[in-house]
Structure 1
């Protein structure tokens, strides 16, 4: 029997195509979803969701009661709550694709770094990286964020229509700018769970390995599938 992965969702209403964490078609195994009412993207990105921790735990336990053997979330910024939430849940939880940073770093050739593409660079702090397992401040990865006046922010925070071409261009521009600024980058990690629909485009355009919430979820599911 294939065991499901549970995904704790923020309270959103925008379109989620295949590749997005919130589309069941993105996964090659069963997934279960549970939304935390009132967990708005901007509040989570800015770290203002602390009062909802009990609701996140309740959502996770509800998924576990439905059969989920492990859990993900739908926002990489929730890595700030990784230790707190994982300690309170009865099954393993991975809050963010950023948890892959130490593993990716260990695999790269000498002199190569990981470049992080994030929803909001100004809000991604050393505290987030510390929770992800990057304990050395000198080892923080270079980061590029999506523009606050751009298509992604407009779609997620303002309800603007999903425009694949605009979104793709915005992501590719962010990656290109980061690589121009940091030519030693040897791998890309996508913090935002809405970016994996563009993983293939990034890999093809820049010839680098790309990691995201889907690579994390597949790895996590592989660990529970033999239970």
Structure 2
């Protein structure tokens, strides 16, 4: 067998564009490499603060050159697909995808059209977001979501312990109360289920919510989808699994 080189590193299938953050990224968070069963490669986009990206679509567009440069660096490093740590980046999906030659999915919101097909148009999808006030029609439209679809959208922006993740906390140690966040996420999802009894599934827009998915599922009994599934989809497409150990 002959293999060819040309790079310094190998074996990282998915590249992840990371916002410029300081909060702890616990296992399950997209920014914790142990979340995945395969190697991933990270690239921090300097100056891309979550409170600014979430606040307005214009901020993501203003930082587009930095995102594109970072995506090209990931591709040069050998990744075979790219995603991001912020679901609000739907608004720059096309530009980043066109700038590189590998598949790009910037947000778990792109799963919503698929979920609608899975559940049928009469079932409601619960979208849990970092900030419901800032998740605009333009963010949803960029992900292929139509205004008349049955969605319940609730955000974590008013939850006290979530300020560390949003970047609005003044704590110099960026401490995260994991148990409290878990309770807050479960409470939010239970409220959504009470509001929409026909709720068929949750979609976590916020990439920091996956660590609490098991607790939400135990409380609600519903399927949960998010960026974790996007990364696994990208990996399984970019690196086709072998089945040498299967049997008939």
Q: Which band: TM-score by shorter chain?
A: over 0.9
Report what 2:137 is aligned to.
126
Deviation at 1:185, TM superposition (A): 0.6
Matches of 1:49 and 1:112, distance apart in 2: 32
Which segment drifts farther, 90-99 or 144-153? 144-153
What is the root-mean-square deviation of aligned Cα atoms in Å? 1.7
Larger Rg: 2
Residues 44-88 of structure 1: CA distance to partner in whole angstroms, max 9, x if unpaired?
102223221111011111111111000010101111211222122
Q: Which residue of 2 aligns with 1:10?
A: 19
TM-score by length of 2: 0.86
> Could you tell which deviates more after superposition, 105-114 or 72-81?
105-114
Structure 1 residues 145-154 or 98-107, which shifts more? 145-154
Q: Secondary structure at the match of 1:169?
A: helix
Give the TM-score normalised by structure 1: 0.94
Could you tell me how far apart the structure 2 residues matched to 1:113 and 1:25 are?
A: 32
Given that 1:61 and 1:90 are in contact with CA atoms closer than 8 Å, whether structure 2 keeps it comes out as no
Please name the residue that 1:37 is paired with: 46
Q: 2:217 matched to 1:203? A: yes
Q: Judge conservation of contact 1:36–1:56 (CA < 8 Å) in 2.
A: yes
Secondary structure, counterpart of 1:85 in structure 2: helix
2:148 aligns with 138
C-alpha separation between the residues in 1 aligned to 2:147 and 2:220? 27
Deviation at 1:110, TM superposition (A): 5.9
Pair 1:208–1:191, CA change in 2 (3 A):
same
Match of residue 96 from structure 1? 107
**Following the alignment from structure 2 to structure 1, what is the Cα–Cα distance between the partners of residues 13 and 43?**
13
SS at match of 1:161: coil
Equivalent position to 1:23, from 16, 23, 32: 32
> Aligned residue pairs: how many?
226
Q: What is residue 153 of structure 1 aligned with on the other side? A: 163
User: Can you give the 5+ residue segments of structure 2 that lack an aligned partner in the other structure?
Assistant: 1-9, 242-248
CA distance in 2, matches of 1:95, 1:23: 17
Asked if 1:192 is matched to 2:192, the reply is no
Q: Which residue matches 2:176?
A: 162
Cα distance in 2 for partners of 1:183, 1:123 equals 25
55, 76, 83: which is aligned to 1:72? 83
Deviations 1:71-128 (A, max 9, x none): 0101011112112221222211110011101111111156322110001000011111
Q: Secondary structure at the match of 1:123?
A: coil
Deviations 1:177-217 (A, max 9, x none): 11111111100000001000001111111100000100111
Give the secondary structure class of the aligned counterpart of 1:143: strand
Measured at CA, do residues 211 and 149 of structure 1 come closer, stay the same or move farther in structure 2, by a change above 3 Å?
closer
Q: List structure 1 segments (4+ residues) > 4 angstroms apart after TM superposition.
A: none
